[in-house]
């Protein structure tokens, strides 16, 4: 029992379907769903920051009753609810028609973070949005996926910048009653409570659920009063810097997550670990089978043959490593239940190149049959990094494949671009078939002026949103005038606008464009061809170096020498990201190669016709074709590497990008620029979508893992039903 019937007690029966609709994030990527809530209460939709749960909670019974008498609203209500109910049919979808019967082959997907909507701040950056996009696409395709993560009551970080440019972290407690999230309750209406077996003193978990279309996401919460005070905070913060607390988090996520699915009666055949954080789920799956009578050897082989592991981190320092002393402390009483010795466990997690502790990625790689990096280049880097695990194999034979990341097209495409322009020129079925390359060739049929004018409107919208944020900041008591001026109030919708928005980390080199201040000043201050730069992003609370880089960027935004052409927008989140990937003219990305595993923000921008200017790393090596944006080769090693890369970017701006943007006809349209925009869309739409990515995971990994699950099923029923299950495909 999930308690949804108790929500919105003031909602009239005639529109009671809004209860289920509001608590299902389906509306977040279906424009008709958002339009229905907006039609119900336009001002409330705006004031709730596009959160229907919060909006309806604030509405009075009289207003809701009035809506039931509004013929116009009720027509839309009936239409949207019919669309929603049809979508939620579990027997409809690509997976059902092409792969298998979903009820017989569920996949459990574990991740430490999910980026789904700004009303649910359970994300820090790209890893979370990748996971969120994946859940949405699995729902669209009908993949029988169930997901597990953390319910972080403090979210990640509300960012504020002090007058001297220093990031000040402020945690804003999640208002659970006004978020599209529900606590899981038992038959008596009490919170479901589950004990983690490895912890002493015991830790009890409560469970929340987010419905993402057809996909259920279960979130772990340790704030139960049954826990000791120091254990209640395990799930409070995303990515704590305390290693022991991090280990406890990962035990709770992996082992506790498996316990939750077992308690809820969620049967699944395949485990997919998104990064190493939840890898202890592998151990708990093995323990379940050992407890059922299997030997450790048989149990570990069965689990291995049905486990998928995705690594996202291309540098050794980015992988979690725990001391053997800490592992001893927490796993001493757990290992006997596995029939596994201490040394055997430690060997599973040992990285021969760095044997000083238990490496979560090394453990996951050894215990998974299907392993992948998230771009072609990242695959090469990962095989080289982890070759010591397979010393007998040649580098190109190391068993780590790659599936390049993609973005969820319905979430990130601008509604006007999709519903008006693409529907007209690509056909009304383009979204259902968007992983088919032939459809995207019709982009060339769009008149340059149509695409140019649409993008100009989106840029005006983005700048208006930034100014609105600045205005709200100015209203705050004690606000600093210089900070407000630095946050984008002087941006010019007519100027060529570069966007750099992502998590602030040193390897992403957020200050690279500031390498040569004199040259940059000349570029941005050209009276005839001005350039402006919008920066946004958060540094991790414990990362002082990245905070210092952010401070440099913010101080540049306050520098009067730039004339307001540089802006830093505080508190970057999913909503602001939507405006920026739709509205800037060029998306800038300049990581230190080869440290960008993939990068998805550039995909979101190019999908909307915003070309990327990027160092050749991550996905851009695969995506760049010479016509759809601009590539920086990247300087080799050396003390002046940053200076040389910055000079290459300045050269591209001065010689290619700025002249092309301002080369307009008598109607003010740059046909050369429109050609680059079209090439960017044509490349991203089919090649870097979450649909292509989810289908790849299914065809290359899930199908094989499901077949292995049937062969090892102790009852034999699934094995005997193989022909029916896979439909002979």
- Residues 363-394 have pLDDT tens digits of 999 999 999 999 999 999 999 999 999 999 99
The predicted pLDDT at position 728 comes to 34
More confident position, 480 or 636: 480
Per-residue pLDDT of 540-566, as tens digits, reads 888 899 999 999 999 999 999 999 999
CA dist., res. 471 & res. 468, Å (int): 5
Q: What is the mean pLDDT of the chain?
A: 92
More confident position, 305 or 633: 305
- Using the predicted structure, report yes or no on whether residue 493 has a pLDDT greater than 60: yes
Tell if the pTM clears 0.85, that is, is over it: yes
Which of 63-72, 167-176, 417-426, 508-517 is predicted with the least confidence, judged by mean pLDDT? 167-176
The predicted pLDDT at position 240 comes to 76
- Using the predicted structure, report yes or no on whether residue 123 has a pLDDT greater than 90: no
Confidence of residue 249 (pLDDT cuts 50, 70, 90): very high
Highest mean pLDDT among 470-479, 550-559, 630-639: 550-559
- Kindly state the average pLDDT of the residues 56-63: 96
DSSP secondary structure letters along 562-601: GTT-EEEESS--HHHHHHHHHH-SEEEE---TT--S--SH
The predicted pLDDT at position 102 comes to 65
- Using the predicted structure, report yes or no on whether residue 726 has a pLDDT greater than 60: no
Q: Domain limits of the chain?
A: 4-87, 94-405+698-725, 410-688
CA dist., res. 379 & res. 658, Å (int): 35
The predicted pLDDT at position 126 comes to 84
- Kindly state the average pLDDT of the residues 231-239: 83
Q: What are phi and psi of 164, to 5 degrees?
A: -90, 10
Q: Which residue has 């708990």 as its token pair? A: 284
CA dist., res. 512 & res. 617, Å (int): 16
Per-residue pLDDT of 668-721, as tens digits, reads 999 999 999 999 999 999 999 999 999 999 999 999 999 999 887 744 433 333
The predicted pLDDT at position 722 comes to 37
What would the CATH number be for the domain defined by 94-405+698-725? 3.40.50.2000
Q: Which residue has 């609709």 as its token pair? A: 21
Characterize 296-310 residue by residue with b for buried, 16 or more Cβ atoms within 10 angstroms of its Cβ, and e for exposed.
beebbbbbbbbbbbb
The predicted pLDDT at position 155 comes to 64
The predicted pLDDT at position 393 comes to 97
The predicted pLDDT at position 158 comes to 79
Helical (H) or strand (E) element with 122: strand 120-122
- Kindly state the average pLDDT of the residues 458-471: 96
Per-residue pLDDT of 575-630, as tens digits, reads 899 999 999 999 999 999 999 999 999 999 999 999 999 999 999 999 999 999 99
Per-residue pLDDT of 316-364, as tens digits, reads 878 999 999 999 999 998 999 998 999 999 999 999 999 999 999 999 9
The predicted pLDDT at position 729 comes to 36
Q: 60: helix, coil or strand?
A: coil
Q: 488: phi > 0 → left, psi -120 to 50 → alpha, else beta; which? A: left
Helices (H) and strands (E) in the chain, counts: 34, 23
- Using the predicted structure, report yes or no on whether residue 723 has a pLDDT greater than 50: no
Q: What percent of the chain has pLDDT over 70?
A: 96
Find all residues with CB under 8 Å of 472, minimum gap 6, and list them.
Answer: none
Fold agreement (94-405+698-725, 410-688): yes
The predicted pLDDT at position 217 comes to 98
Confidence of residue 724 (pLDDT cuts 50, 70, 90): very low
- Using the predicted structure, report yes or no on whether residue 201 has a pLDDT greater than 70: yes
Contact status, residue 311 vs residue 365, Cβ threshold 8 Å: yes
Contact status, residue 448 vs residue 669, Cβ threshold 8 Å: yes
> What HEC string does 285-305 produce?
HHHHHHHCCCCHHHHHHHHHC
User: Which CATH class, in words, describes the domain spanning 410-688?
Assistant: alpha beta
Q: 23: helix, coil or strand?
A: coil
How many CB atoms are closer than 10 A to CB 266?
14
Q: Distances from the Cα of 163 to the Cαs of 93, 160, 184, 322, 540, in angstroms?
A: 53, 10, 44, 38, 19
Helical (H) or strand (E) element with 114: strand 114-117
Positions of E strands within 449-569 = 496-501, 531-536, 566-569
CA dist., res. 118 & res. 120, Å (int): 5
Q: What are the structure tokens assigned to 250, written together?
A: 């990962």
Contact status, residue 26 vs residue 217, Cβ threshold 8 Å: no
């Amino acid at each position: 029992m999930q308690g949804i019937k108790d929500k919105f007690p003031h909602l009239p029966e005639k529109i009671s379907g809004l209860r289920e609709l509001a608590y299902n994030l389906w509306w977040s990527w279906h424009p008709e769903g958002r339009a229905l809530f907006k039609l119900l209460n336009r001002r409330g939709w705006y004031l709730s920051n596009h959160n229907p749960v919060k909006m309806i909670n604030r509405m009075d019974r009289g207003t809701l009753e009035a809506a039931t008498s509004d013929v116009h609203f009720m027509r839309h209500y009936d239409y949207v609810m019919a669309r929603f109910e049809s979508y939620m049919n579990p027997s409809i979808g690509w997976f059902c028609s092409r792969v298998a019967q979903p009820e017989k082959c569920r996949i459990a997907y574990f991740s430490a973070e999910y980026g789904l909507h700004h009303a649910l701040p359970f994300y820090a950056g790209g890893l979370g949005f990748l996971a969120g996009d994946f859940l949405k696409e699995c729902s669209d395709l009908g993949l029988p996926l169930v997901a597990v993560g953390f319910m972080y009551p403090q979210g990640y970080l509300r960012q504020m910048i002090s007058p001297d440019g220093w990031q000040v972290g402020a945690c804003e407690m999640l208002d659970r009653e006004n978020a599209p999230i529900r606590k899981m309750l038992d038959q008596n209406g009490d919170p479901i409570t589950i004990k983690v077996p490895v912890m002493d003193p015991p830790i009890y978990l409560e469970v929340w659920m987010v419905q993402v279309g057809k996909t259920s996401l279960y979130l772990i919460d340790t704030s139960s009063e049954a826990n000791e005070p120091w254990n209640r905070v395990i799930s409070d913060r995303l990515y704590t810097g305390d290693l022991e607390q991090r280990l406890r988090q990962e035990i709770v996520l992996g082992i506790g997550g498996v316990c939750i699915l077992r308690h809820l009666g969620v049967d699944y055949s395949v485990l997919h670990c998104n990064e190493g954080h939840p890898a202890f789920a592998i151990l708990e799956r093995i323990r379940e089978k050992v407890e059922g009578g299997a030997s450790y050897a048989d149990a570990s082989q069965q689990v291995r043959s049905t486990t998928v592991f995705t690594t996202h981190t291309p540098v050794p320092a980015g992988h979690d490593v725990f001391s053997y002393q800490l592992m001893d402390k927490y796993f001493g009483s757990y290992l006997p239940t596995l029939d596994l010795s201490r040394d055997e466990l430690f060997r599973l997690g040992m990285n021969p190149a760095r044997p000083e502790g238990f490496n979560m990625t090394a453990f996951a790689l050894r215990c998974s049959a299907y392993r992948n990096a998230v771009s072609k280049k990242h695959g090469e880097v990962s095989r080289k990094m982890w070759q010591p695990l397979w010393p007998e194999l040649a580098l190109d034979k190391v068993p780590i494949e790659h599936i390049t990341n993609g973005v969820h097209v319905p979430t990130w495409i601008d509604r006007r671009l999709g519903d008006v322009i693409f529907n007209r020129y690509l056909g009304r079925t383009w979204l259902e078939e968007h992983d088919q390359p032939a459809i995207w060739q019709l982009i060339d049929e769009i008149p340059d002026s149509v695409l140019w004018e649409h993008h100009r409107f989106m840029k005006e919208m983005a700048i208006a949103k930034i100014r609105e944020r600045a205005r709200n900041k100015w209203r705050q008591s004690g606000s600093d005038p210089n900070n407000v001026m630095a946050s984008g109030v002087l941006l010019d919708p007519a100027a060529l606008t570069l966007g750099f928005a992502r998590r602030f980390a040193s390897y992403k080199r957020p200050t690279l464009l500031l390498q040569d201040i004199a040259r940059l000043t000349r570029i941005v201050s050209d009276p005839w061809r001005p350039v402006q730069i919008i920066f946004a992003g958060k540094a991790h609370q414990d990362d002082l170096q990245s905070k210092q880089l952010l401070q440099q960027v913010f101080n540049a935004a306050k520098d009067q020498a730039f004339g307001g052409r540089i802006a830093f927008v505080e508190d970057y989140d999913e909503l602001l990201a939507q405006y920026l990937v739709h509205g800037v003219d060029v998306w800038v990305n300049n990581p230190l190669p080869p440290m960008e595993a993939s990068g998805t923000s550039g995909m979101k921008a190019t999908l909307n016709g915003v070309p990327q200017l990027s160092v050749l790393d991550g996905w851009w090596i695969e995506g760049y074709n010479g016509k759809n944006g601009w590539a920086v080769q990247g300087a080799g090693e050396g003390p002046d590497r940053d200076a040389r890369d910055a000079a290459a970017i300045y050269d591209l701006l001065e010689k290619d990008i700025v002249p092309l943007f301002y080369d307009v006809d008598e109607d003010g349209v740059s046909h050369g620029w429109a050609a680059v925009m079209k090439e960017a869309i044509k490349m991203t739409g089919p090649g870097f979508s979450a649909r292509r990515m989810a289908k790849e995971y299914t065809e290359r990994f899930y199908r094989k893992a499901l077949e292995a699950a049937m062969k090892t099923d102790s009852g034999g029923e699934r094995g005997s039903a193989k022909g029916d299950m896979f439909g002979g495909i």
